[in-house]
Structure 1
């Protein structure tokens, strides 16, 4: 099934978000013979796994003692493939409104219009982007010598790297890049880190061994360089003591700014920027709209990929009940029935 009749599509379910939970929702819908279209603002499937940490190992996926994020996405996509989902990538959902005949009509930033009987919101943390440090002229360096994500560690081999920040991401990449970079300096405004204790003690050990420079308590002040090529990162203490760190690369890790974007306008019950659902059905307060994964909240909610997978299975059954109220679902285990023919 490809792109039919221009920009207008009709399907059983439209899934908003193509991260791991959105991809697994395609599979679960397929198991109950529901067809899916999937919309994501990123150019590729995988959500944060692809955009932010493709090489990061994940340890809590059942049956995988360890799996890299990118590999998990490859496998989830392959698992969904038999059900021929149609992906609409690189576009944001702009509006969602009820249409005739019990359909929801969804319109994207590229003018794609999809009508579906059910919508499953699997939007993770919503639209996300890096928190930029407030440095003059930083835009000129972005994508050349200033990066907010590490997708390939190898590209920093032999480089002088400055990492700014004090969370897990900053500490984890300092430990990892110390193995390949010519020099790693970590700039943080205080001596304490907000990272896993085990990681912090490994960092301190590498500092003691002279493998990592710890530049504390300093903050980023300005950048030296030309044509997007960084030469030095200037830092200062709160008392105005300045220091120049020769550098080829700056990695500012100040977390992500999250926003639900247009989803916030859909009349869903929200609690602290998350969508409230009934975990028994994955239903929101609006009939036909379901939500799963990190974007949802309910008492006892665990923010784990595996919880999102379970919620996706619940949402698919609920969508089936909505779309085929006259046909009770005789659920068979995939171990006995195999995967249904698409």
Structure 2
């Protein structure tokens, strides 16, 4: 190990919502903190794929866009000036003789830390693309795997392929501005939240189930119509379409971290109530963790991140208080 590497109390791997809030809380606990994000900007999947999606399941915030949420979390995370490293994917971990950890990224850069919090979501992710000949000619023009700007769809005939919460949320947001919104889903039942499904069935959004997209037709990069096929009967229908949004989920890859020796269950890292993994000094929070009755919401991760930070504090300083004071009492927020 290069002996001139700066030693941090905790390195948070992952700069999404959970990692950012954990960084803020780590500052409250006066831990020397580093955040490492594999993407070129903070925010993870929320900023990358859902910047205009309305998020409603965070207590005290009736609604907020993904981009606004990340902007707020980024500002909050920087309260105590953590070191932030972007564009590095951590691949290797080596425990040193003194019990600290040496983390190495895929570009060879190394990071020295006393503890680690893994807040990597589901790891690196790639959208599950539409596997149809010729689909790539429309991608980024009239075929979309994320919604960057709602205004792009104003007055358009929009077809959404998918049946989860993301597909339903996009349909709900596009309904007032698009000429027409249609959802096709390969199952009769939708997998979104019950209230979202109920609202969609009461809306003007056309729901076609169980159908799948089979063929795209258009000129150059512009879609003109889509052929869909009934899963059961094989019946086909042509739909006039200006824009196609595909929401089929993601391919998930933990990468080399899955070889660190961490206990895994259902593709996630097993933790206890203190967010401790089976490796002393390594903790985890957010979508990557598994424990009974886990709440798979951002709000759940906002509890897990501080819990992991408190466990880090106790790991480093066994006589420390098990939890931080209420943040409003912290010296950084007290004015004379």
Structure-2-length-normalised TM-score: 0.87
Contact 1:35 1:83 in 2 (8 A): no
Once the two structures are superposed, residues 159-187 of structure 1 have per-residue CA deviations (whole angstroms, 9 ceiling, x without a partner) of 22111122232233223212112232322
Residue 34 in structure 1 maps to residue 34 in structure 2:
no
1:329 is displaced (CA, Å) by 4.3
Residue 282 in structure 1 maps to residue 275 in structure 2:
yes
The residue number in structure 1 matching 2:286 is 293
Residue 151 in structure 1 maps to residue 145 in structure 2:
no
Name the CA shift for 1:193/1:337 in 2 (closer, same or farther; >3 Å): closer
Contact 2:28 2:330 in 1 (8 A): no
Name the CA shift for 1:200/1:29 in 2 (closer, same or farther; >3 Å): closer
Matches of 1:119 and 1:44, distance apart in 2: 20
Name the CA shift for 1:64/1:173 in 2 (closer, same or farther; >3 Å): closer
Name the CA shift for 1:334/1:141 in 2 (closer, same or farther; >3 Å): same
Name the CA shift for 1:205/1:290 in 2 (closer, same or farther; >3 Å): closer
Residue 70 in structure 1 maps to residue 63 in structure 2:
no
Residue 243 in structure 1 maps to residue 240 in structure 2:
no
Name the CA shift for 1:264/1:215 in 2 (closer, same or farther; >3 Å): same
1:340 is displaced (CA, Å) by 8.3
**1:102 maps to which of 74, 99, 105:** 99
**1:56 maps to which of 53, 78, 88:** 53
Residue 322 in structure 1 maps to residue 315 in structure 2:
yes
The residue number in structure 2 matching 1:310 is 303
Name the CA shift for 1:302/1:187 in 2 (closer, same or farther; >3 Å): closer
Matches of 1:198 and 1:335, distance apart in 2: 35
Residue 123 in structure 1 maps to residue 120 in structure 2:
yes
1:70 is displaced (CA, Å) by 2.3
Alignment partner of 2:173: what SS? helix
Contact 1:164 1:187 in 2 (8 A): yes
Residue 87 in structure 1 maps to residue 84 in structure 2:
yes
1:83 is displaced (CA, Å) by 1.7
Contact 1:8 1:112 in 2 (8 A): no
Matches for 1:145-224 after TM superposition, within 5 Å: 145-206=142-203, 211-224=204-217
Contact 2:104 2:110 in 1 (8 A): yes
Matches of 1:62 and 1:243, distance apart in 2: 43
RMSD over aligned Cα, in angstroms?
A: 2.6
Residue 264 in structure 1 maps to residue 264 in structure 2:
no
Alignment partner of 1:102: what SS? coil
Matches of 1:59 and 1:171, distance apart in 2: 14
1:100 is displaced (CA, Å) by 4.1
Structure-1-length-normalised TM-score: 0.86
Matches of 1:258 and 1:339, distance apart in 2: 39
1:333 is displaced (CA, Å) by 3.8
Bigger drift between 248-257 and 281-290 goes to: 248-257
1:35 is displaced (CA, Å) by 1.7
1:320 is displaced (CA, Å) by 2.4
Where does structure 2 lack aligned partners over 5 or more consecutive residues?
none
Alignment partner of 1:339: what SS? helix
Bigger drift between 77-86 and 328-337 goes to: 328-337
Matches of 2:168 and 2:60, distance apart in 1: 28
Where does structure 1 lack aligned partners over 5 or more consecutive residues?
none
Matches of 1:97 and 1:115, distance apart in 2: 10
Contact 1:58 1:66 in 2 (8 A): yes
Alignment partner of 2:144: what SS? coil
